[in-house]
Amino acid sequence: MKIVLAIDKFKGSATSVQIANAAKQVIEEFDNSIEIKTIPVADGGDGTVDAMLSALPGAEIVETAVSAPVASLPHIVARYAIVGGDTAVMEVAAASGLALVPCHLQNVMQATSAGCGQMIADAYGRGVRHIVLGLGGSATCDGAMGLLDAIGFVFTGADGVRLTPCGENLGLIRDIKQTALAQKIATGVQFTLLSDVTCPLLGTNGAARVFAPQKGASAVEVELLEAGMANFAKFMPHRATVMPGAGAAGGIGAGMAAFLGAAIKPGVEEILKLAHFDSKLRGASLIITGEGCIDAQTAMGKAPEVIAQHGRACGIPVIAICGQLAIDAEKLSCFDQIIPITPPGMPLATAMKPDVTLQNIRTAIRTLLPTITKL
**Same structural domain, 251 and 291:** no
Q: Is the pLDDT reported for residue 5 higher than 80?
A: yes
Angle at 371 between CA 367 and CA 374, to 5 degrees: 150
**Same structural domain, 195 and 248:** yes
**Same structural domain, 142 and 283:** no
Q: Is the pLDDT reported for residue 342 higher than 80?
A: yes
The CATH number assigned to the domain holding 12 equals: 3.40.50.10350
**Same structural domain, 324 and 299:** yes
**Same structural domain, 360 and 253:** no
Angle at 66 between CA 223 and CA 59, to 5 degrees: 110
**Same structural domain, 299 and 254:** no
For residue 97, give the DSSP letter. Answer: B
Q: Is the pLDDT reported for residue 44 higher than 80?
A: no
**Same structural domain, 227 and 314:** no
Decide which of 268, 297, 332 is a domain's last residue. Answer: 268
Domain carrying residue 96: 48-268
CA distance 348 to 352: 6
**Same structural domain, 11 and 119:** no
| Number of structural domains in the chain | 2
Q: Is the pLDDT reported for residue 22 higher than 80?
A: yes
CA distance 354 to 292: 12
Q: How confident is the model at residue 102 (pLDDT cuts 50, 70, 90)?
A: very high
Residue-wise pLDDT for 196-205, tens only, equals 788 999 999 9
Q: Is the pLDDT reported for residue 279 higher than 90?
A: yes
Query: Residue range 120-142: average pLDDT?
Result: 95
Instruction: Calculate the average pLDDT of the chain.
Output: 93
Q: Which has more confidence, 310 or 52?
A: 310
Q: Is the dihedral of CA 177, 181, 184, 188 positive or negative?
A: negative
Residue-wise pLDDT for 351-361, tens only, equals 999 999 999 99
* Closest-CA residue to 85 (of 142, 127, 144, 148): 127
Q: Is the pLDDT reported for residue 23 higher than 90?
A: yes
Give the pLDDT of residue 30: 95
Q: Is the pLDDT reported for residue 274 higher than 80?
A: no
Do 114 and 85 contact (CB within 8 A), yes or no? no
**Same structural domain, 116 and 244:** yes
**Same structural domain, 324 and 350:** yes
**Same structural domain, 32 and 140:** no
**Same structural domain, 153 and 10:** no
Decide which of 239, 268, 297 is a domain's last residue. Answer: 268
CA distance 77 to 246: 27
Q: Is the pLDDT reported for residue 186 higher than 90?
A: yes
